[in-house]
Amino acid sequence: MSTLQAKINALPIEERAWLLGTKSKNPLGCAFAKKRVVHPGAGGKRMVADKAEQVQIWADLMAQTPNPADERAVYIHIPFCDKKCSYCGFFQNFTREEAAHHYVDVLLDELDAAADTPYVQGAPFQAVFFGGGTPTALSDADIARLVQAVRARLPLTSDCEITLEGRIHDLTESKVEAAMNAGINRFSLGVQSFDTRVRQAIGRIDDGETVIATLRRMVEQQGAVVIADLIYGLPYQSMEVWENDVRTQFEIGIAGGDLYQLNVFPSSELARRVASGDLPMLPTTEEQAEYFRRGIDIVMEYPMVRRIDTTHWATDHRERSIYNTLAKRGCDVLAFGSGAGGFIGQMMWRNHGALAPYEKMVEEGAKPFQFMGEQADAHRMQSEIGDQIEHGYLYAPFFTKKYGVDLLTEMEPLLAAWAENGLVTRTETGFRLTRAGEFWHDNLIQGFLEAYALTQEDTVKLRKENVAVQDMIPKSVRSMLEAMFPDGMPAQMAAALAGKPSPEMENHPHMQMLKELIRKEREKERAAGADHDLNTVMRTQSRDLGKAV
């Protein structure tokens, strides 16, 4: 038995399932109990808490000359939004034009402090990403001067991808024109859904017609390269609404798009509103998987589509997705702005996320670190493993050649289990993800990195975050079920309550009864037009048991 197999066997059954998944008739919906992490990755090596050491490390980084063969990118963060979206876990500040204008002044000071260093001037950057927050919340003039300053002060490749992230509501004709004239050649927009009711439920400002009209104007009249994100699993987003969302992207003719899974964070306004009965229950993870399958099926109906990764597709040669690829591959990302996170070589840092200390530190001439850390020695290889899996495959000879590791041999127990559980199709040189593997790609990346760490260390702490509140079973329901089964619940139900259903027992008569209960509750809610008249406990019960079975 291999060392990895022995270590996996020694794990508690729940943790073993986090790594390997479980065998199921429906691997797309049930290979894992739920999503484990939003941003998969391995842990770092150490935090650098000492301020003087941070300053010295930064000075050393900026003094080094980069290898011209290494691709790299710039990230610039704009921490303002006009409105807070109900599902958001990243909101920082409401937009105030004066404050935003001053922020751009400070941001340019931070940029200037690094611009003339050997590290910055030593090689060109392949991509610049203005992200947020909502960069389009800035005024036309502030966007123009910021983009022009970045192009003037940093060395960029002649075909550098320069992306402006934003929301439709801000994108007046003049703002799009100002941004494009300044050098923006890609817009990454959070549409989420074209359905007005869905949009209103999650706090988006414009109705569906306005969104479509704005995108059409950008694409047809202004020649903009537009990438639009959609999210599945939103309130009121039936399968029919979702299918229409995906098709509408193609009817407008955007250059590319993303189909993202909704993550429901416990502290989000969305979770609170669903729990209170103010919004209808959300699709469970198992149901989200069906949305993903249907969304990809529709995307693949269009013959010009090129899939870039598990969630992202393009129809246009102008969509290259360079920034996302470089960042995920572990390339250097030079970051500026309040809350921005950057990576250079082994080091990573985050700028202060609160506006006042960020601005004060920059105005005092300091790089505004909130924290700094040293990444794991193998971080580049780990990132490249994650990048390949996110792109739907793993090609083992790449890692043998570059890092001298034989992943096929070392990871055999994991790969065999994934193939058995319907997550990958194996090839002689690695594997490709199945559609189920694509849906669970974050779990697979996390599982691969942790299993690889197990080949190097005696024990590894597995990561698990609470990012799928739509699947949780609240205490009230737990108590009710415990009262219904005072002598002990059927094994499948007990496993479901513990968040780890065992698919092989899903035909247990009690589970059939619960499935029927769920079906009836969902029918009832649909018939009521989600008028919020259902008892909250029953709503929650049917939602959670929907996942459980």
Region binding ligand SF4 by CB under 6 A among candidate stretches 52-60, 82-90, 97-105, 288-296: 82-90
Asked whether the bond before 257 is cis by omega within 30 degrees of 0, the reply is: no
d(CA 332, CA 322): 13
d(CA 153, CA 110): 12
Region binding ligand SF4 by CB under 6 A among candidate stretches 87-95, 238-246, 267-275, 332-340: 87-95
- Count CB-CB contacts under 10 A for residue 152: 10
Closest separation in Å from C-beta 191 to ligand SF4: 12
Closest separation in Å from C-beta 84 to ligand SF4: 5
Region binding ligand SF4 by CB under 6 A among candidate stretches 7-15, 84-92, 364-372, 404-412: 84-92
Closest separation in Å from C-beta 258 to ligand SF4: 14
HSE at residue 480, side-chain half, CA atoms within 13 A, is 11
Considering beta carbons, is residue 142 or 521 the nearer one to ligand SF4?
A: 142
By CB under 6 A, how many residues form the interface with ligand SF4?
10
List the beta strands (DSSP E) in 220-331: 226-232, 256-261, 306-307, 312-314
Question: Interaction with ligand SF4 in 170-229: which residues (CB under 6 A)?
Answer: none
Q: Which of 78, 160, 128, 86 is nearest to 351 (CA)?
A: 78
Considering beta carbons, is residue 164 or 408 the nearer one to ligand SF4?
A: 164
Region binding ligand SF4 by CB under 6 A among candidate stretches 81-89, 342-350, 370-378, 494-502: 81-89
The verdict on 94 binding ligand SF4 (CB under 6 A) reads no
Phi-psi region of 339 (alpha: psi -120 to 50; beta: other; left: phi over 0): left
* One of 90, 94, 302, 485 touching ligand SF4 (CB under 6 A): 90
Task: Write phi, then psi, for 307 (nearest 5 degrees).
Answer: -80, 130
Angle of the 412-420 helix axis to the 13-20 helix axis, nearest 10: 80
Question: Interaction with ligand SF4 in 146-175: which residues (CB under 6 A)?
Answer: 167
Task: Give the pairing of strands 186-192 and 156-166.
Answer: parallel
HSE at residue 38, side-chain half, CA atoms within 13 A, is 13
The verdict on 85 binding ligand SF4 (CB under 6 A) reads yes
Residues 339, 355: contact at Cβ < 8 Å? no
Region binding ligand SF4 by CB under 6 A among candidate stretches 79-87, 241-249, 370-378, 440-448: 79-87
> What are the distances in angstroms from CA 528 to CA 198, 525, 539?
17, 5, 12
Closest separation in Å from C-beta 150 to ligand SF4: 21
Closest separation in Å from C-beta 204 to ligand SF4: 8
Considering beta carbons, is residue 85 or 226 the nearer one to ligand SF4?
A: 85
Considering beta carbons, is residue 25 or 84 the nearer one to ligand SF4?
A: 84
Q: Distance between the two ends of the chain, CA-based, in angstroms?
A: 34
Question: Interaction with ligand SF4 in 118-137: which residues (CB under 6 A)?
Answer: 132-134
Considering beta carbons, is residue 84 or 520 the nearer one to ligand SF4?
A: 84
Question: Can you list the alpha helix ranges (DSSP code H) found in 154-282?
Answer: 173-182, 196-201, 208-216, 239-252, 269-276
Binding mask 36-75 for ligand SF4 (x = CB under 6 A): ----------------------------------------
Residue 110, amino acid: E
Q: Which of 238, 141, 142 is nearest to 198 (CA)?
A: 238
Considering beta carbons, is residue 51 or 84 the nearer one to ligand SF4?
A: 84
Residue 140, amino acid: D
Closest separation in Å from C-beta 207 to ligand SF4: 17
The verdict on 398 binding ligand SF4 (CB under 6 A) reads no
Closest separation in Å from C-beta 341 to ligand SF4: 15
Residues near ligand SF4, by CB under 6 A = 81, 84-85, 88, 90-91, 132-134, 167
